[in-house]
Amino acid sequence: MKNTDTERERARRITDALAERYPEAICSLRYDGEPWKLLIMGRLSAQCTDARVNIVSQELFDRFPTARAVADAPLEELEAIVRPCGLFRTKAADIKEACRMLCDEYGGVLPDKMEELLRLPGVGRKVANLLLGDIYGLPGIVADTHCIRICGRLGFYPADMRDPVKTERIMSGLIEPGEQSDFCHRLVLFGRDVCRARDPACGECPLAAAGLCTWRDTAGEGDKTRRGKS
């Protein structure tokens, strides 16, 4: 069993190293500081790249510039706009109903409690933690694909584990509460830049260089073809 204090210290060093590499920890979804927009974009991001969500959302918000406008929009129009994000019928219905609830039940103000956010259609713990962290500065681990993959490779849990609930629980206990939101944003940048799902640039990894990640040395033979040159 791993020593919890040792793991927390290693997590702190990793957090510091990522902060040095990426001084600006910003959300990759361009929501202009408007909570209702991030609510919608978080839903659209499921099984879709942030880059595509940003493009699609710009068209959506140009056409429907308020949460009330989205709530009152014809469902067919919403479906047509969000179609490039995939799962367009479900996503369109979810964002329409979520905006209706936001306007009618919460006075247009995004809830600041996990249990309230989870009432909104299409909002799971990942999106709820994103909203709580970005909008309200509250702690929460956004267990997205980058977070799950990278924290596994870093050895905080088995690298082949893909359980977002376990990832959130484990990493919430290791990353300082005030650092959790920024930590997750930096993992997204790091996951695109270095620790990619395929062909990771282990030879360029500052965490490996600092002795904070040994994944490239301990991964099975089947992983070596995906680890890039070092």
| Rounded CA separation 198/175 (Å) | 26
Tell me which residue range forms the domain holding 94: 35-136
pTM of the model: 0.91
Q: Which residues are catalytic?
A: 126, 144
pLDDT given for residue 218 in this prediction: 76
Average pLDDT over residues 185-214: 95
pLDDT at 230 over 80: no
pLDDT given for residue 216 in this prediction: 83
Is residue 148 domain-resident?
yes
What pLDDT, in 10s, does the model give residues 29-77?
Answer: 999 999 999 999 999 999 999 999 999 999 999 999 999 999 999 999 9
Rounded to the nearest 10 degrees, how much is the dihedral formed by the CA atoms of 162, 167, 170, 172? Answer: 170
Average pLDDT over residues 75-89: 98
Is residue 172 domain-resident?
yes
* Co-location of 197 and 132 in the same domain: no
Long-range contacts at 205-212 (CB < 8 A, ≥ 24 apart): 206/17, 206/20, 206/21, 207/14, 207/17, 207/18, 207/154, 210/13, 210/17, 212/10, 212/13, 212/14, 212/17, 212/154
CA-nearest of 55, 46, 41, 14 to 190 is 14
- Domain CATH code at residue 213: 1.10.1670.10
| Rounded CA separation 187/150 (Å) | 7
Average pLDDT over residues 191-206: 95
